[in-house]
Structure 1
């Protein structure tokens, strides 16, 4: 399917989730399922006016929900179903006819990161380094191909599974496998493992990647942009008021994005479906308000923070911290002496508005920031002095150990 490419514009905003929208799956151009940190899965379908509306809310997870997969209509599910995975280690199977949960699959020890529906079976991946196959609500097989957290799993047209310890995966029909990485890049791989193309343009972790039959690619990143790629070149950057956790193509070429502001957005190149000018202007205002609100990171002025070039200067002690400016965000890094590099700790999300020497574990610091280390982990406290010379070794070393696991980049084909 060819798309007469023009810039994507906002088609509509889908509001209802109460926290970050984390995952998306689409069915053709008619239905969307989304998952959220608010512990819910929502179904969106077209009404009689061809507008997407919330049609069902699926409740049953006890923590944030991530990956989703459709179940095609069958004898058990006449209207189809949804499979969801969560931070609560559960895989849930839902009947879309009733909106009820029919199976709760227990076995993973840590967060579920990927879901594939495979000819009646469910295959799931997890931070516990395993993949599991489930049939009729029961576990039937476990694979332990990785020695690190498995962040995604997809099924190739050949029937093979591809697993990933980087971030996200997608099949690019006729060409190979797309991967999204913590290093800010996208890569297209041959099934043999050869890198066919690298796409660089994001300035932070890339959480998701998807491709369309037209050859277009879309990616979503912590840098607040969904980027559209054609022939390896970024042809459009779609700005959001928050992290873009997921981005998926619909069959008609429209793009659905999941944002940390709790809003699902659909973007289109079809001028007949573009939102009214008033809605477009409102979205521009949302972006402006968001960016103005990010001009301070706690008590630090954003424009006074060093840029990414500061990370070219080696640290002096293991665990030394540094806060740098990435786009409209302040991001904390810790020095890893063993690997001689700065490892990302997380985004600074809050802190005191003035420096009155904050106490942490009985010690005074210039600032004590709240840091979002991602992946559904609790907000952590980061003590920080303007010199960057004092730190919390437990926080830093725990984070660095975690990052050393999840940032190893390799694919396994099963």
Structure 2
């Protein structure tokens, strides 16, 4: 990646279409391809188009999970797996290993009690994290270690180049692990730590429900805090150039340089995951089911027709967001309504915050309005507008 790349704006390069529900996870498989996961219960594997290097085409569909699929990891080709393999974790508590040469499931790893939220390779082992608060180490398809790593749900796990593992949790902390020994606990986020990434030569990046991204030194010092997302940040990644990308609930992927947001890429839905390709291009997974590649290189930018089509889709989405069910955003009360006490514990009201409708619940004991989590909001709307949700 040349020195000028980070000064140029990223634009749409290509769309990977095929998932039938939210695109949730991305795994860059070296230069061989890209694996993606979805709420549609599948993993899909995409390879470079033979003639148009901007594009990827679908190579394999890997069905087998019984609920939505999240984290992914890549096993490079070896003597047993000539084209490598994909490891996937799901809401169904399972970890699967897929042979990329034929698309078949070769291993099923069963043991977690709740959703699998992370999978990483540690030499020849697979280490998985879960909402059940445990880490499990799998060797030749058997559990060789399992331990409670946090007191609350573990949401992410990565392996550092130096060999340690890092976990992020609903308990708002990160933990640094050497084997089963916790070397350090990183405290500072005020809400769930949802995404993690290695920052080349500097430390650990964390993305949080508190809307911020932090860069931590391995000693625990906060080197940088990046604030710019309007709500939950789900994912973060870095590139050797020093650029950082993050994706969140506010329907944007944001690009950061030296702690400053230099570009915000709008999406027609929540951005669940973001990853850099080696060449500096960015891959995003969106709740509209589409995986998109963004580039700052002129020769890889999409055709004008495709660019115009994306702008139109974005405009349609923004118009649709102006109404939530039968509610018009401009008709919702503002923040000042939170000065009026509620009538009963758990009473819910939706207020207008910028371009969003945000739910609050009355906390009778503390006599204050608490902002409600996204999952509660979803449940709230499912109860009021069941026709909007498909099962």
| Partner of residue 97, structure 2 | 93
Indicate whether 1:55 and 2:59 are aligned.
yes
| Partner of residue 399, structure 1 | none
Q: Once the 2 structures are TM-superposed, how far is the Cα of residue 151 of structure 1 from its aligned partner?
A: 0.2
- The alpha-carbon distance between structure 1 residues 224 and 46, as it changes in their structure 2 partners (threshold 3 A), is same
Task: Map Cα deviations across residues 326-345 of structure 1 (whole Å, 9 max, x no partner).
Answer: 55443323234556551323
Distance in 1 of aligned mates of 2:32 and 2:354? 35
Distance in 1 of aligned mates of 2:319 and 2:278? 36
Question: Which of 314, 339, 343 is 2:371 aligned to?
Answer: 343
Matches within 5 A, 1:119-268: 119-165=123-169, 166-268=193-295
| Partner of residue 188, structure 2 | none
Distance in 1 of aligned mates of 2:111 and 2:353? 38
Distance in 2 of aligned mates of 1:100 and 1:56? 10
Do the aligned residues in 2 keep the contact of 1:255 with 1:267 (CA within 8 Å)? yes
Distance in 1 of aligned mates of 2:24 and 2:336? 31
Do the aligned residues in 2 keep the contact of 1:43 with 1:55 (CA within 8 Å)? yes
Please tell me the root mean square deviation across aligned C-alpha atoms, in Å: 2.0
**Secondary structure, aligned partner of 2:158:** strand
Structure 1 window deviating more from structure 2 (17-26 vs 338-347): it is 338-347
Do the aligned residues in 2 keep the contact of 1:126 with 1:149 (CA within 8 Å)? yes
- The alpha-carbon distance between structure 1 residues 146 and 310, as it changes in their structure 2 partners (threshold 3 A), is farther
Do the aligned residues in 1 keep the contact of 2:16 with 2:291 (CA within 8 Å)? yes
State the aligned residue count: 356
Distance in 2 of aligned mates of 1:312 and 1:188? 34
Task: Map Cα deviations across residues 75-133 of structure 1 (whole Å, 9 max, x no partner).
Answer: 22111100000000000001111110001100000000011011111000000000100
Question: Which of 109, 117, 122 is 1:118 aligned to?
Answer: 122
- The alpha-carbon distance between structure 1 residues 147 and 281, as it changes in their structure 2 partners (threshold 3 A), is same
Do the aligned residues in 1 keep the contact of 2:120 with 2:158 (CA within 8 Å)? yes
Do the aligned residues in 2 keep the contact of 1:332 with 1:347 (CA within 8 Å)? no
**Secondary structure, aligned partner of 1:284:** helix
Matches within 5 A, 1:249-328: 249-306=276-333, 309-310=335-336, 313=339, 315-316=341-342, 317-326=344-353, 328=355
Q: Once the 2 structures are TM-superposed, how far is the Cα of residue 382 of structure 1 from its aligned partner?
A: 5.2
Distance in 2 of aligned mates of 1:263 and 1:310? 38
Do the aligned residues in 1 keep the contact of 2:196 with 2:237 (CA within 8 Å)? yes
- The alpha-carbon distance between structure 1 residues 314 and 299, as it changes in their structure 2 partners (threshold 3 A), is same
Distance in 1 of aligned mates of 2:365 and 2:223? 32
**Secondary structure, aligned partner of 1:372:** helix
TM-score (norm 1): 0.82
- The alpha-carbon distance between structure 1 residues 210 and 138, as it changes in their structure 2 partners (threshold 3 A), is same
Do the aligned residues in 2 keep the contact of 1:297 with 1:329 (CA within 8 Å)? no
Do the aligned residues in 2 keep the contact of 1:58 with 1:99 (CA within 8 Å)? yes
Indicate whether 1:8 and 2:10 are aligned.
yes
**Secondary structure, aligned partner of 1:151:** strand
Do the aligned residues in 1 keep the contact of 2:360 with 2:369 (CA within 8 Å)? no
Do the aligned residues in 2 keep the contact of 1:167 with 1:206 (CA within 8 Å)? yes
Q: Once the 2 structures are TM-superposed, how far is the Cα of residue 196 of structure 1 from its aligned partner?
A: 1.1
Distance in 1 of aligned mates of 2:353 and 2:88? 32
**Secondary structure, aligned partner of 2:253:** strand
Question: Which of 45, 48, 67 is 1:46 aligned to?
Answer: 48
| Partner of residue 74, structure 2 | 70
Structure 1 residue ranges without an equivalent (≥5)? 349-370, 384-414
Matches within 5 A, 1:11-50: 11-49=13-51, 50=53
- The alpha-carbon distance between structure 1 residues 158 and 234, as it changes in their structure 2 partners (threshold 3 A), is same
Structure 1 window deviating more from structure 2 (214-223 vs 183-192): it is 183-192
TM-score (norm 2): 0.86
Distance in 2 of aligned mates of 1:194 and 1:171? 15
**Secondary structure, aligned partner of 1:167:** strand
Matches within 5 A, 1:361-372: 371-372=377-378
Do the aligned residues in 1 keep the contact of 2:42 with 2:61 (CA within 8 Å)? yes
